């Protein structure tokens, strides 16, 4: 029997945010998060004991099905997915989704970067939190950075995170993507993020388009 993971929900939809916005993906929302963001829009996912434990085998068959229906990658999200060791999940997905016609399915993860790293990913979205900053490892390895904007301190935090990444990566080419995303329903967050993106073209505005479209 493969490892069991607590799963809040799993569904095939479009990625609503960030660099891959608008692309077909299969989402697995793992339960459990101790980061405690006051404005969290998935608070229901925090307590992992409330959710069924699902085997990796069962997840794999749904991933394969979603792929046949068009999902071009999977997104591990939460909660904070790295509260769980993801080595076995990633290994099985990679080893068992390759066919004569298709390469192994790509795996994306969305993380706050506070837990130890496990698994292997084709795309890492780091969404660092001001009250619980990420480990340097994630600043170095992430492909995109997404800062949630609620108030002016978040703008300052966005600048600091980017500077820290450039300090860490100063000797190599930095190809990361940088996004500011207003917290949902935060008028102040919208104004600040829009103004910041206008004045700082190396940052891009990200919106939770799935919420505007009323899709998952």
Q: Residue 26 corresponds to which tokens in the numbers above?
A: 């299969």
**Nearest distance from C-beta of residue 151 to ligand SF4, angstroms:** 16
Cα-Cα-Cα-Cα dihedral sign, residues 174, 163, 138, 168: positive
Closer of 137 and 166 to ligand SF4 (Cβ): 137
Sheet holding 106-111, edge to edge: 53-55, 4-14, 24-30, 73-77, 106-111, 123-126, 144-149, 177-182, 204-205
Closer of 60 and 86 to ligand SF4 (Cβ): 86
Closer of 42 and 135 to ligand SF4 (Cβ): 42
**Nearest distance from C-beta of residue 61 to ligand SF4, angstroms:** 26
CA distance linking residue 138 with residue 148, whole number of Å: 17
Tell the residue number behind the tokens 């405690």, with chain if given.
Answer: 36
**Nearest distance from C-beta of residue 134 to ligand SF4, angstroms:** 10
**Nearest distance from C-beta of residue 29 to ligand SF4, angstroms:** 9
CA distance linking residue 10 with residue 85, whole number of Å: 18
Neighbouring-strand partners of residue 110? 125
Q: How deeply is 158 buried, as exposed, middle or buried, from its count of CB atoms within 10 A (0-12, 13-18, 19+)? A: buried
Tell the residue number behind the tokens 């992992």, with chain if given.
Answer: 48
* Residues found near ligand SF4 in the complex (CB under 6 A): 33, 35-37, 40, 42, 45, 78-80, 112, 129
**Nearest distance from C-beta of residue 97 to ligand SF4, angstroms:** 27
Closer of 79 and 119 to ligand SF4 (Cβ): 79
Closer of 25 and 35 to ligand SF4 (Cβ): 35
Q: Which one, of 157, 145, 152, lies nearest residue 193 by Cα?
A: 152
């Amino acid at each position: 029997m493969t490892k069991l993971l607590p799963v809040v929900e799993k569904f095939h939809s479009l990625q609503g945010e960030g660099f891959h916005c608008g692309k077909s993906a299969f989402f697995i929302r793992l339960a459990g998060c101790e980061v405690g963001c006051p404005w969290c829009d998935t608070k229901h996912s925090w307590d992992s004991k409330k959710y069924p434990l699902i085997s990796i085998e069962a997840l794999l068959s749904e991933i394969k099905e979603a792929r046949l229906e068009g999902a071009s990658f999977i997104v591990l999200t939460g909660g904070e997915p790295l509260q769980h060791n993801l080595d076995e999940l990633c290994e099985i997905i990679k080893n068992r989704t390759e066919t004569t016609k298709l390469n192994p399915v790509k795996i994306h993860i969305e993380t706050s970067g506070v837990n130890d790293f496990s698994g292997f990913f084709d795309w890492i979205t780091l969404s660092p939190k001001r009250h619980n900053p990420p480990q340097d490892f994630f600043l170095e390895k992430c492909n995109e950075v997404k800062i949630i904007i609620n108030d002016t301190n978040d703008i300052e935090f966005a600048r600091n995170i980017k500077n820290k990444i450039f300090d860490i990566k100063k000797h190599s080419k930095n190809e990361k993507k940088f996004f500011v995303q207003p917290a949902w329903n935060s008028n102040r967050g919208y104004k600040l993020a829009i103004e910041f993106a206008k004045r700082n073209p190396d940052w891009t505005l990200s919106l939770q388009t799935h919420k505007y479209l009323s899709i998952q």
